[in-house]
Amino acid sequence: MNILEKIAATKRIEVEALKATMPPEAAKMKAHSVLRSVLSMSESIRSHNPGIIAEHKRRSPSKGEISPMSEVAEIAKAYAEAGAAAMSVLTDTPYFGGSLTDLAVARAAAPRLPLLRKEFIIDDFQIYQARIFGADAILLIAAMLDKTSLHHLKDTAHSLGLEVLVEVHSTEEIGKVPEDADMVGVNNRDLTSFSTDISNSARLIEALPDEMVKVAESGIRTPEDIRRLSEAGFDGFLIGEAFMSTPDPGATLRRFIQESRL
């Protein structure tokens, strides 16, 4: 198994265990009863220069420990104050050290900042959770899903008012992207090997749907990287390690914003 296959296998076991604690129909009803208005992540990205999705990440399979003791409330407030267009909150526990509690804490700490649930989503149940715990958007990874499943999960998210960021890594995966997805992201990290190549975004930009918000993900380490990707045609930039590996992620974000504006 490659790392993505291992994560998918773990996630299937995890989701089935969660369903044993709350029937899916009960979770669905609870998700549809949430009164909080959903914030538009795609509109926020378009209205910010640059449209940075700042990520909270404690660790990863490729880098190990990044910021294991970080306080998500402090990071969320710092990102909001520094001018992030949105915040990505990793909720996977075994591989990234995140949780749904992190999502809820970030929601309370930054009520006007759009939140992306960064997760390996394979089931409607996880989307119900996203709405219940305060997300505004979810990530769907094309490498993990067949086209039918991807479209179904997108429809589930839209039925709850959530936006969808569909992540691709290759030309073949672009063909899976639903026409009514809100955002499309190019992951510069190969999820089968976790190697990173930022030029992957530039290679795929011309093949992405014109009307969608386009997001470059992973491997973005400098303001110059943002300028280069912005000139290539990207609207948003998902950045985690470059912020979380510094003593003050909010200050680093602020510097990236100032130095990357075209």
The DSSP call for residue 138 is E
The DSSP call for residue 134 is T
Residue 57 is a catalytic residue: yes
Q: Is the dihedral of CA 169, 171, 177, 179 positive or negative?
A: positive
Q: Which of 40, 88, 187, 260 is catalytic?
A: 187
Residue 193 is a catalytic residue: no
Residue 241 is a catalytic residue: no
> How would you classify residue 238: left for phi > 0, otherwise alpha for psi between -120 and 50, otherwise beta?
beta
Q: Which of 11, 40, 44, 57 is catalytic?
A: 57
Give strand pairing partners of 236: 51, 215
Q: Which of 119, 163, 173, 217 is catalytic?
A: 217
Q: Which of 44, 67, 200, 218 is catalytic?
A: 218
Q: Which of 28, 42, 44, 55 is catalytic?
A: 55
Q: Which of 119, 167, 173, 241 is catalytic?
A: 167
Residue 118 is a catalytic residue: yes
What tokens were used for 236? 């948003």
Give strand pairing partners of 209: none
Helices (H), ranges, 122-248 = 124-132, 147-159, 171-174, 199-204, 223-232, 241-244
Residue 63 is a catalytic residue: no
Q: Which of 28, 118, 154, 176 is catalytic?
A: 118
What residues are labeled active site? 55, 57, 118, 167, 187, 217-218
